[in-house]
Amino acid sequence: MIGDKTSLKGRVAIVTGGGMGMGAATARLMAARGACVVVSDTNEKAARETVAMIAADGGTAEAVVADVARESDVEAMIAQTVGRFGKLDCAVNNAAIAPDNAPIAEADMAVFDRLIAVNLRGVMLCMKYEIRHFLKRKAAGAIVNIGSVSSQRPQAFNAAYVASKHGVVGLTKTGSLEYASHGIRVNAVLPGSIDTPMLRTALNSTGKKEEDFAPILSLFGRFGKAEEVAEASAWLCSDAASYVTGHCLAVDAGYLSR
């Protein structure tokens, strides 16, 4: 009988932005598959709520407060993970903030700088310290960076967000090239229109409903579920994806195929 290669039993994982949406769904799924999960977020209450849900489901998790744009926070997050669970095996770098909404000529550079700091610098910092740990242990590891369909197909009025998500793909591919010889796999997941608090906030600001946009953004005519993105991230962290690195997996109901 072939074992379940999607199992994460015995693994230690970090999920950044794990307090809600795709991050929370990913943390819960990875815990359900056997991983000990560090749920990182700037919102301590939200992180603890995810941890409580994991505990209620019989899993093991720990909340860590961290702003991924701050190098000291990221370094401390890795140290806390290792201090609590003894190691780190995989990470889903999911933390991000909502897209900007202005044409380039009217851009608020404070908004631009903060978005790049979290969505791009944050991924870089997480990769830096995650990879350092893998190298120190001389152990294989898996990293999943959360990009976006905007990593491949730009949207107007989202210059900072589009630039940050294109950058995530660049970091992913560079990391895969640099560390494959060490057994470290680096991949990205590119979500499409996923039903999260971030998307609902954006919808509410326009006064539009799901049925107004879903047929345009999805060949299935619906928004995706956070759990559907979580499945992709968990798979890429598992031994089932042992021959996959440098790949950008779109979970977008065919949006990028148009």
pLDDT tens digits, residue range 135-173?
A: 999 999 999 999 999 999 999 999 999 999 999 999 999
pLDDT band, very low/low/confident/very high, at 19 (cuts 50, 70, 90): very high
- Strands of the sheet containing 36-41, edge to edge, are 60-65, 36-41, 12-16, 90-93, 141-146, 184-191, 248-251
Q: Give me 77's structure tokens.
A: 């997050």
Query: Of 168, 161, 26, which Cα lies nearest the Cα of 99?
Result: 161
Active-site entry in 129, 161, 179, 255: 161
SS3 (DSSP) at 39: strand
Q: What six digits make up the tokens of 31? A: 């815990």
Instruction: Give the per-residue pLDDT at 144.
Output: 99
Token pair of 79 as six digits: 């140290």
Give the mean pLDDT of 76-90: 98
Residue pLDDT, tens place only, 195-246: 988 788 877 777 777 887 888 889 999 999 999 999 999 999 999 999 999 9
* pLDDT at position 1: 42
What is the C-alpha separation between 115 and 47, in angstroms, rounded? 21
CA distance 13 to 39: 9
pLDDT digits (tens, 9 = 90+) for 97-125: 999 999 999 999 999 999 999 999 999 99
Closest-CA residue to 63 (of 75, 79, 46):
46
Confidence of residue 17 (pLDDT cuts 50, 70, 90): very high
Question: What is the predicted pLDDT for the residue at 198?
Answer: 79
Is position 255 annotated as part of the catalytic site? no
pLDDT value for 2: 62
pLDDT in tens, 177-187: 999 999 999 99
pLDDT reported for residue 14? 99
The full set of domains in the chain, from first to last, is: 12-257 (3.40.50.720)
CB proximity list for 236: less than 8 A, separation 6 or greater: 142, 144, 185, 187, 189, 244, 247, 249
Cα–Cα distance list, 51 to 99, 104, 146, 166, 206 (Å): 27, 40, 21, 31, 33
Buried/exposed 170-183: b ≥16 CB within 10 Å, e otherwise: ebbbebbeebeeee
Helix axes 21-32, 226-237, angle to 10 degrees: 50
Buried b (16+ CB within 10 A) or exposed e, 8-35: beebbbbbbbbbbbbbbbbbbbbbbbbb
